[in-house]
Structure 1
Amino acid sequence: GLVMLVGLITKNGILIVEFANQLRESGLERGAAVVEAATLRLRPILMTTLATILGAIPLALAVGAGAESRQQIGWVIVGGLLLGTLLTLSVVPVAYTLLARKVHHSPEQMAEQAEQALVH
């Protein structure tokens, strides 16, 4: 359950950052790009999270033989996804704004700058 949880939460953060990078390459500034990326990815992230939580509820409410271990896995998935999604939607845009380079260079520009640095 925990491995699945980490994978889903990580995927959501990567989607926001990758989409923001694509928007920056198309000309948007850093702040506008991350806000637009988070806004556009909000619905798919919430839909995926809700579907996974609804799928884990039978585990969390399990009864019968072996129910104790299934309940623990179910509650880890439900609670972790709720908390992880909230943190992803709030922390990733802030971290991106603070940590992303102010000027986004294309790979070609970066290769050209590296070549010039080696020549000089």
Structure 2
Amino acid sequence: QRAVTISANVNENYSLFEAIEYLENIMAEVAPTNQITWKGESEEVKETTNELYIIFALGLLTAYLVMAATFNSFVHPFIIMLTVPLAVFGGLVFILFLNSSINIFSQIALVILIGISTKNSILIVDYANQIRTTGKEIQASVKEACELRFRPIMMTSISTMIAMLPLVIGNIGPGAGEASRLAVGSTILGGMIISTFFTLYVTPTMYLTLAKNSKRIDVIDIELKKQMSKK
């Protein structure tokens, strides 16, 4: 069986991930029946990329199941997880805007965004559930939850964004590790900006739509305590 070995250095304006994708497209046009075997760093990138997709999916599933057990509901975790696509979209937009690339570091940052982006929705959903146990209507509960949780949401989100600024601003000039720092910083910064802004609209709207008939996991215990206190 004939084999051709090709070795090359990647231009500083392109990532190894982009070079691999380019070669795969060329081979698909020139020799679609031939097989490509990657070696060295290229092999590591291919294997890691495939594994990260699995890790990302498992991260989503694990986060959903943990929240489902916590809220004793499949609806509330679904509402919370709706912020993840917004965060991923924001991260990808900033990668393109800051002329970064989708590589191993940006993919890791996307996995990190699963936990960071859902935090804001958890604050709103959990507090709205608590208010509803007092007997308030769902609209009033969501409105009060958004008003009371707006400040902690903005404080934690802005602090995360500020923490990412050195990774982004520090990559204006060339230097060691420039691509990796920019990939992580731009992904998390963009994801937090987009998810924080839209969470304040998407989460309350979806809560009003999907959680009309849902209750807190400890609603029965709370009601019993109220009855006992009256006696």
Please tell me the TM-score bracket, short chain as reference.
Answer: 0.7 to 0.9
Larger mean CA deviation between 95-104 and 5-14 belongs to 95-104
**Alpha-carbon separation, structure 2, partners of 1:30 and 1:84:** 23
The question of 1:52 aligning with 2:160 is answered yes
Deviation string, structure 1 residues 40-91 (Cα, Å, up to 9, x no partner): 1111010111101000001112342011111111011111000011121110
Q: Kindly state the Cα deviation for residue 3 of structure 1 after the two structures are TM-superposed.
A: 2.4
- Other-structure match for 1:16: 124
- Other-structure match for 2:47: none
**Alpha-carbon separation, structure 2, partners of 1:54 and 1:75:** 12
- Other-structure match for 1:71: 182
Give 3-state SS (helix, strand or coil) of 2:141's partner: helix
**Alpha-carbon separation, structure 2, partners of 1:29 and 1:73:** 42
**Alpha-carbon separation, structure 1, partners of 2:122 and 2:214:** 20
- TM alignment of 1:1-120, pairs within 5 A: 1-63=109-171, 64-102=175-213, 104=215, 106-107=219-220
TM-score, normalising length from structure 1?
0.82
Report the CA distance shift for 1:29/1:103 in structure 2 as closer, same or farther (over 3 A). farther
Give 3-state SS (helix, strand or coil) of 1:20's partner: helix
Q: Give the gaps of 5 or more residues in structure 1.
A: 109-120
Q: Give the gaps of 5 or more residues in structure 2.
A: 1-108, 222-231
**Alpha-carbon separation, structure 2, partners of 1:25 and 1:44:** 22
Q: Kindly state the Cα deviation for residue 102 of structure 1 after the two structures are TM-superposed.
A: 4.5
TM-score, normalising length from structure 2?
0.44
**Alpha-carbon separation, structure 2, partners of 1:75 and 1:38:** 28
- Other-structure match for 1:116: none
Larger mean CA deviation between 95-104 and 41-50 belongs to 95-104
**Alpha-carbon separation, structure 1, partners of 2:131 and 2:203:** 16
**Alpha-carbon separation, structure 1, partners of 2:147 and 2:141:** 10
Report the CA distance shift for 1:104/1:7 in structure 2 as closer, same or farther (over 3 A). closer
CA contact under 8 A between 1:59 and 1:71: conserved in structure 2? yes
Identity %: 44
More helix by share: 1
Q: Kindly state the Cα deviation for residue 107 of structure 1 after the two structures are TM-superposed.
A: 3.4
The structure showing larger relative contact order (alpha-carbon pairs under 8 Å, at least 6 residues apart) is 1
Opposite residue 60 of structure 1, the aligned amino acid is V
Q: Size of the alignment, in residue pairs?
A: 109
Which structure has the larger Rg?
A: 2
